[in-house]
Amino acid sequence: MTALLSVTGLRKSYGSVEVLKGIDFEVKAGEKIALIGPSGSGKSTCLRCMNFLEKPSAGDIRLDGERVGVRPGGRGDSERIMSDRQLAPQRAQMGMVFQLFHLWPHLSVLENVAIAARKVRRLSAVEARDLAMEMLAKVHMSHRASASPLELSGGQQQRVAIARALSQKPKLMLFDEPTSALDPELVHEVLKVIEELAAEGRTMLLVTHEIAFARDVADRVMFLDGGVIVEEGLARDVITTPREPRTQAFLKQIR
Ligand code: ADP
Ligand code: MG
């Protein structure tokens, strides 16, 4: 089976500092991959390179076989980085959920989700509303559709942000520490929603410090340290019996 997402030779530097030092991996359709690693190891940078929120310094990212962010050069033309406008359809295929939710405070919950559906998928107002309600039901937020995001708990806001990402009907979900800004008692409700999406067979790449969650929900785990993937394997193996000393040290520290 071909990979849905395939990353080859990914590098990213800020000035003279190389943050990602050559990363290769694949995510097959339906696979759930957890990316773990110490703070500053390059996890967010890696995720943001997938949809060119950060422009890679080198490497090749393909979604469903199509090169992301770069148009092939023709006859003597070198390849070109796409503009944000050209990138928009590719970005829409990757639903991104950040640590902070970034909902519009002046719009209702429903409008926050519907506006994404309208913009990205060019639906009519009625279609967008229907789709938004469907996605809010998936994250168990239908009952707050007309509320302002300001009235919601952090866990509820994050679930709305997940509904917003889902309303793009993405092929792949990218989660960057979706629970790390939440009060501890709100973490579970967000993880439960992610687990339900995983059970639906959605493809996801998830950065998380929730190690037990990664072990139970992910198919594979990649451990990133110092801008390289130090260890990669079946989730249970990497987390319960890591091979590499650096993985062992990291897991011991966060337990
Ligand atoms: P993680 O998500 O694993 O904590 P990041 O990807 O956020 O790591 O950061 C990796 C490294 O890249 C850090 O040393 C960070 O300071 C640096 N970095 C991230 N973004 C930028 C930026 N825009 N400019 C300069 N350095 C950055
Ligand atoms: Mg990060």
pLDDT tens digit sequence for 141-188: 999 999 999 999 999 999 999 999 999 999 999 999 999 999 999 999
Query: Of 1, 6, 75, 12, nearest to 228 (Cα)?
Result: 12
| pTM (2 d.p.) | 0.95
Please tell me whether the interface predicted TM-score (ipTM) of this complex is above 0.95. Answer: yes
- Closest residue CA from atom 14 of ligand 1: 40
Ligand 1 atom nearest residue 15's Cα = 25
Q: Are 141 and 160 in contact (CB under 8 A)?
A: yes
Q: Residue 21 CA: which ligand is closest? A: 1
How far CA 198 is from CA of 65, 83, 217, in Å, comes to: 23, 32, 7
- Amino acid 5 reads L
Instruction: Compute φ and ψ for 2, nearest 5 degrees.
Output: -80, 155
Cβ count near 53 (within 10 Å): 17
222-243: pLDDT as tens digits = 999 999 999 999 999 999 999 9
For residue 1, is pLDDT > 70?
Answer: no
Q: Are 212 and 184 in contact (CB under 8 A)?
A: no
| DSSP 8-class letter at 149 | G
Pocket test for ligand 1, best of 45, 180, 229 (most atoms within 8 A of CB): 45
